[in-house]
Structure formats: C-alpha cells, structure tokens
Chains A and B, each alone.
Chain A
C-alpha cells in the first residue's frame, strides 16, 4: 500500500495533475488496489481536515491582505519607507525590502507580497535608472519575507499540522524576519554602491511625519493582530477576522480606495486563493491517514536517523538541503502540508525545539521560492518586470547567497528564533 501511494504520488505529480488531486488520487489508488478499507474514508477525512477553527485564520488573513492591498495600503507604505530610507545609496532597493517587511506584517503569503510591491516599485526603480533585472531580483528576494514575518499562512499550517501554538510561531518569526530583511538591505546597498544606483533626494522631517500619518493606520494593523493574540484577547482566527473588519473599514471609509462594488471581486479572489490551499489540506489528510497506517513516517525517520547517525546538526543539514530543493518546486503551503507529518516526528525524537523546527522549515521553503529555475516568486516578478529568469539570475545570486547564509544562522543558532518567545513567556 505504501509503495503504490508514494510511486503513484510521484508519477501523478510529474504528469501535471494538480498537487491536491495527486495526493487524493494516489491515496484512492492505494486503497483500491490493496486496502480492505471503505473508500468512504476519503470524504470523511476531507471533511474532518477542513472542519477546523484554527485553519479559518487562512481565509481571514487572505481576505484582510486583499482588502489592504486593494485599499491603497501598498502605496502609502512605500511613501513612508521612501521618506525615511530613500536618500541612501540604493535607496529604492532598500525601500523595497522595507516595504515588503511592512506588507508582510499584513499579508501572510510571499507571492502576494512580491506581486503587490513589485507592481509599484519595479517601474519606479527603472525610472530612476536602476537596472531592471536588479529591481526584479530585489523584489523576488524580499517577497519571501511575506511568510516569515507574521502573520504567515505557512505558520498557521505548521501550527495545525504539528500541534504547536500559532501565536508562538508568529512571535518566533520576528527576529529571523528582521535578520533576513537586514541582510537583504545590506546586500542591496553594496550592489547599488558598486553599480552606482543612487538614492532619491532627501525628505524633510515634515515629509516623514506626513507620510507616517498617512501610513499609520496600516502600520497599526500588525500591532492589533499580534497584540490581540499575545494579550490573550483573541485566538489567531479571531485576530484575523478583526483584521478583515479593520482593513475593510480603512479601505472603504478612510482611504476610500475600494468601493462596495469591489467587494464581490475581493471576496471571490480571497475564497479561491484559500480554496486552492484548503483543497490540498483536504486531500493530504487521506494521504496522511494511509501513511500513518502503513507507518511510513516511522520508516522514513529510521532511514533519516541512520544516515544522520542520530546527530541533530546533521539531520538539520539534510533538512536544509531537502527543503531548499522541494521549495523550488512546490508552493510553501503545499510543502508544509505534505512534509510536516514526515519531518516533524523525526525532529522531536532528536530533541529539536518544535517551534525552532517550524521556523527552519518555513525559512528554507521561502528561500526555495526564489531559487532558479522553478521558484514561484521568480515567475511572478519576471512576469511583472517583463524579463526572463536567466537575465534576473545574475543579480539574484548575491541575494541567494546571503539568504542561504541566513538559513544556516537561523538553523544553527536556535536563540535567534527562541529568544523572543522565551522573553515574552510564550515558551519556557
């Protein structure tokens, strides 16, 4: 049963069946051919997997992100970041990283972040004589902050799949997120200095205050979400719905950039985006059920342990390589759904902190999304910039090297991830 399951999955992936159906169909085949189980298990597992209150944070965070994105938030965040950091060498590139950071604190996905920021900042950089491919590479690389800085959809998924607190995952993502953002800014600065991409004119304190006031309502959103969760006021799902109402009120009545008639489109897009993730969860549930029944995770764990000789450091290195590779092919959410049940138990038997392991998985997969030739962020930014992945790669290499260095720092210095949650008393 196990062999049919895994071989079936592999073949169905390769012939371009959607990931969700490849998981579901390989499970069905395995049950049909060998199992003496009723196929009614399939819809039952599907229902049980989706019928989850913590997972409801996903549609709400997606909806809140879309409401804020269409509501003129991105433009205001860019104006604010430009007024502070636009003046230095490579100003707009650094602004790109900073804006992605702010936007990541509203949106939970990398692709959405890269799309929202890239559409506005790539043309702006080209206008100021930045190399088009440098601009696109900067957006692609900073887009990955979307899943690392909370709120983050992959963190919700990891929390649910591994039985960890989503709130603690969120708080653990902060310092790794800042580390990555800081290192990307430094890289952008050095490349710009070498290539002579200059900053914009200085802005006065008055301009800074004005753009801050304009962006303040957007910047307040993460404070409400995260403050609400850690203050014990809301569950993550409730915090997400509060973000929906907050984003809706600002977009409709304060900034007035969305109309009531736009809501139908925003709600439809948000539901479809959510459904593409949830349908994977539904099908992965049947898949996971068979895997557990056949004790496949235990077997994989044994193989992993015998290769790594029980050394957590070596295991994490193997995980780094595996996830980087998987991340170039699969969207972060899909990879988390499939791999958490396999890798998490091994990490636990090796005594790795569960929250730290979650952050390692997410950071790795996020970097995979900007790794050629298949990273999803690359396709999105190349599409916006009308350039090819080959041309973009030259400028992407320094960013990638820095990101890989970040992965190792985050993997092997657990304190970067765990200090803040410990300090706030979220974990012991």
Chain B
C-alpha cells in the first residue's frame, strides 16, 4: 500500500515541475503582451489564447495536488461531530463517491477531446484537443491523489 502512495507522490513531483513551468510561461507571455503593445506598438495575436489554455491545464493539474494536500475544502463540522465509526464510514463512502464522479468526468472529457481533434483554435490554429486534454489528464491525477489520501488515512487507522 505504501509503495502505491510513494509512486503517486513520485508522479506528483513531476506534476509540480509542470505547474511551475505553466505559471512561469503564463506570466512571461502576458508580460510580453504588455511590452509588445506599449514598447513595440504591436499586438501579439497568440499570447492571450496560449495563456488561457495554459491556465486550463494548470487548474486541473493544480487541483490534483490540492487534493493531495487536502486543500480542497468542504464542510468538516458535521462529519466530525458524528460517532467515530460513523465518521469513518462516511469518509470512505464519500471517497468512493468522489472517485466515481471524477471517473465519469474523465470518461466524458476523453470523448470531448477526441471530438475536438478536428477543431482548430482561433488564434494559434492548433488542434483544440491540445487544450482540452488537460482536463482528462487532470481528472486522472485527481483520482490517483484521492486514492493516495484514502490509503494514507487507512494506514493511519491501522
């Protein structure tokens, strides 16, 4: 069980580098947009679109790390007030439910990405699937991290 959690965390370390890069490029591109407009009086046609797609990616990848760090907040008050066993059962059921929801979105986002393969973006003229595919990748990572959190909770109980 421990090796699974370690494996997921290893993958997360790679994801961290990716999101650092995404935010870095996003900042640089929009900064360039400002510079080009005011210094060179030339608007960049692609900067805004690129940054928007990078933000989509960073949202869904970032949320998977948010799950791992328990930063996605819910209402803990009621569940914590339950008897111990009931708290545990609720937590496990909610985890299963969350995984099912993420899997449904994963499935339909793959479908959407495949459909979008023939569409082209307005400014950069790249296939829209390049932008869309951030969602299924993010959903997959969210499922893995939900599992990692659940496994860790199990280990803690034992």
Residues of A bordering B, CB below 8 Å: 12-22, 24-25, 28, 38-40, 42-44, 46-47, 50-53, 55-56, 59-60, 63, 233-234, 237-238, 241-242, 244-245, 263-264, 267-268, 270-276, 278-279, 282, 329, 331, 334, 374
Contacts and interface: CB of A to CB of B under 8 A. Distances in A.
Contacts of B17: 264
A59 B55 contact: yes
Given A28-B101, A238-B30, A268 B52 contact: no
User: In this complex, which of B59, B62, B66 has the most chain A Cβ atoms within 10 angstroms of its Cβ?
Assistant: B59
Interface in B1-29: 16-17, 19-20, 22-24, 26-27
Contact of B34 (A28, A234, A263): A234
A65 B31 CA distance: 17
B58 A274 contact: yes
User: In this complex, which of A14, A18, A20, A22 has the most chain B Cβ atoms within 10 angstroms of its Cβ?
Assistant: A18
Contact of A43 (B53, B72, B112): B112
Interface of B: 16-17, 19-20, 22-24, 26-27, 30-31, 33-34, 38, 48, 51-53, 55-56, 58-63, 65-67, 69, 71-79, 90-91, 93-94, 97-98, 101-102, 104-105, 108-109, 111-112, 115, 131-132, 135-136
Contacts of B78: 14-16
Contacts of A272: 19, 62, 65-66, 69, 71
Contact of B105 (A13, A43, A242, A271): A43
A276 B17 CA distance: 18
A311 to B, nearest CB: 33
Contact of B52 (A17, A52, A245, A329): A52
A19 to B, nearest CB: 6
17 contacts: A13-B75, A15-B93, A16-B91, A19-B74, A24-B101, A25-B101, A40-B112, A43-B136, A47-B135, A50-B55, A51-B131, A53-B48, A238-B30, A271-B19, A271-B65, A275-B58, A279-B60
Nearest to A25: B101
Given A42-B105, A233-B38, A244-B27, A18 B58 contact: no
Contact of B19 (A28, A268, A279): A268
Contacts, number: 175
Contacts of A331: 73
Nearest to A44: B112
Given A14-B75, A50-B56, A276-B66, 19 more contacts: A15-B93, A16-B75, A16-B76, A28-B104, A39-B108, A43-B105, A43-B108, A43-B109, A43-B132, A51-B53, A51-B55, A56-B26, A56-B30, A263-B20, A271-B19, A274-B62, A278-B59, A334-B73, A374-B77
A279 B102 CA distance: 12
B94 A17 contact: yes
Contacts of A51: 52-53, 55-56, 131
Contacts of B59: 50, 274-275, 278-279, 282
B101 A21 contact: yes
Contact of B63 (A39, A42, A234, A279): A279
B73 A43 contact: no
B68 to A, nearest CB: 9
Contacts of A271: 19-20, 22-23, 58, 61-62, 65
B125 to A, nearest CB: 17
Contacts of B79: 14-16
Contacts of A15: 78-79, 90, 93-94
Nearest to A41: B108
A329 B135 contact: no
B72 A18 contact: yes
B112 to A, nearest CB: 5
Contacts of B55: 50-51, 55-56, 59, 278
Among all A-B residue pairs, the 9 with the closest Cβ atoms: A275-B62, A43-B109, A18-B72, A278-B59, A279-B63, A25-B101, A267-B20, A271-B62, A16-B74
Contacts of A42: 104-105, 108-109
Contacts of B90: 15-16
Contacts of A270: 23
Nearest to B52: A51
Contacts of A28: 101, 104-105
Contacts of B53: 51
B33 A21 contact: no
Nearest to A286: B105
Contacts of A22: 74
Contacts of B66: 272, 275-276, 279
Contacts of A47: 56, 112, 131-132, 135
B30 to A, nearest CB: 4
Contact of A241 (B34, B65, B77, B112): B34
